[in-house]
Amino acid sequence: MQRGNLMSYGPVINECYRRLGVYVDKIYKGAKPADLPVELPTKVELVINLKTAKTLGLTIPQSLLLRADEVVQ
């Protein structure tokens, strides 16, 4: 997120990798991949990059900043 993106809202990547490990474990134990349920991410995060906002001349409302999981200075 520190490479110029203004905002990002999406799944927590580390949580996705953890869930992937659970799937791999089930497959190694003999489960058929086609029988495993598809899961949607349950944890999402909002990241706002104030440096990019400043470069673009944008003001991010305080109410949105308070809801962000991470604010990049």
Structure tokens at 21: 């490990």
CA distance 5 to 41: 22
Q: Say which residues have a Cβ less than 8 Å from residue 7's Cβ, sequence separation at least 6.
A: 46, 47, 48, 49
Q: pLDDT of 2-57, one tens digit each?
A: 567 899 999 998 999 999 999 999 999 999 999 999 988 889 999 999 999 999 99
Q: What is the pTM of this model?
A: 0.72
Residue 21 vs residues 7, 25, 31: alpha-carbon distances, Å:
28, 6, 14
